[in-house]
Amino acid sequence: MVRDNRPWRLVSGLRGALVGAFAFSAFYLINTTLWELALTMSVWQRVATVIASITVMLTWLIVYHHLWERKTHLPPQERDLTGLFNASTVITLTIGLVFGYLALFVLNLIATFLVFTPEVFRQYAGPEPGLAEHLIVALITTAAATVAGAIGSGFESEESVREAAYSFRERERRQALQRSRATEPEDETLTQTARDA
């Protein structure tokens, strides 16, 4: 299911999140407070920041765009598969977001070499800042921009997020499920009317 969903396409489908992440990256890259914070963090804090930023984006996409399946919303024959559907959603989005994170990280790393002047960067990174310092600042910048990108994904329509996250077959299954749910109240009303008559 995850392979069919092609998670590597997720980022290109989330244009609002992408624009938000790029815009905030530019802001954070010239923010010396972020440089200081990034360079004074311990390794575990940096790792936790990266994981937390991806988790925030993942949770936002699932909750805001109603991607979580509930047993009560599924037909009886599919209720046993709820866990499988939800697991494939989480794995698909996680892989897609990691690809996006790495792409944004590479762009931010390149930007650090283009934007940071040695004279200014030395004041925060020490007398001989090297690749390690640039990597650290780019890493934390990307984490902060990823959280901001979650806000940008709020401008995406539910349909565009589903199109980016799911294969054609899975989108068809979910649309059929929504249509059946939409007709349920009508069916119940007709049945009640027939009984009253």
Q: Is the pLDDT of residue 114 over 60?
A: yes
Report d(CA 123, CA 130) in Å as an integer.
13
Task: Give the whole-number percent of the chain exceeding pLDDT 70.
Answer: 62
pLDDT digits (tens, 9 = 90+) for 80-104: 667 777 788 888 888 888 988 998 9
Q: Is the pLDDT of residue 150 over 50?
A: yes
User: What pLDDT was estimated at residue 51?
Assistant: 95
Q: Is the pLDDT of residue 158 over 70?
A: no
pLDDT digits (tens, 9 = 90+) for 174-194: 555 555 555 655 444 444 444
User: What pLDDT was estimated at residue 136?
Assistant: 94
Instruction: Find the angle CA(14)-CA(20)-CA(25) to the nearest 5 degrees.
Output: 125
Task: Give the DSSP H or E segment for 184.
Answer: helix 168-196
Side-chain-facing half-sphere of 31: CA atoms under 13 Å: 16
Task: Give the whole-number percent of the chain exceeding pLDDT 90.
Answer: 22
Q: Find where tokens 């749910």 sit.
A: 181
Identify which has the larger pLDDT, 82 or 44. Answer: 44
Report d(CA 134, CA 74) in Å as an integer.
49
Backbone angles phi, psi at 154, to 5 degrees: -65, -20
For 30-34, 99-103, 122-126, 186-190, which range has the lowest pLDDT when averaged over its residues?
A: 186-190
Identify which has the larger pLDDT, 151 or 41. Answer: 41
User: What pLDDT was estimated at residue 139?
Assistant: 95
For 92-144, give the DSSP string: HHHHHHHHHHHHHHHHHHHHHHHH--HHHHHHHH-SS--HHHHHHHHHHHHHH
Report d(CA 131, CA 159) in Å as an integer.
41
Q: Is the pLDDT of residue 76 over 80?
A: no
Nearest to 7 by CA among 127, 107, 89: 89
What is the phi-psi region of residue 24: left when phi exceeds 0, alpha when psi lies from -120 to 50, beta otherwise?
A: alpha
Angle at which helices 131-153 and 43-64 pack, to 10 degrees?
A: 20
User: What pLDDT was estimated at residue 92?
Assistant: 82
Identify which has the larger pLDDT, 186 or 143. Answer: 143
Contact call for residues 90 and 58 (beta carbons, < 8 A) = yes
Tell me the whole-structure pTM to 2 decimals. 0.73
Report d(CA 123, CA 69) in Å as an integer.
51
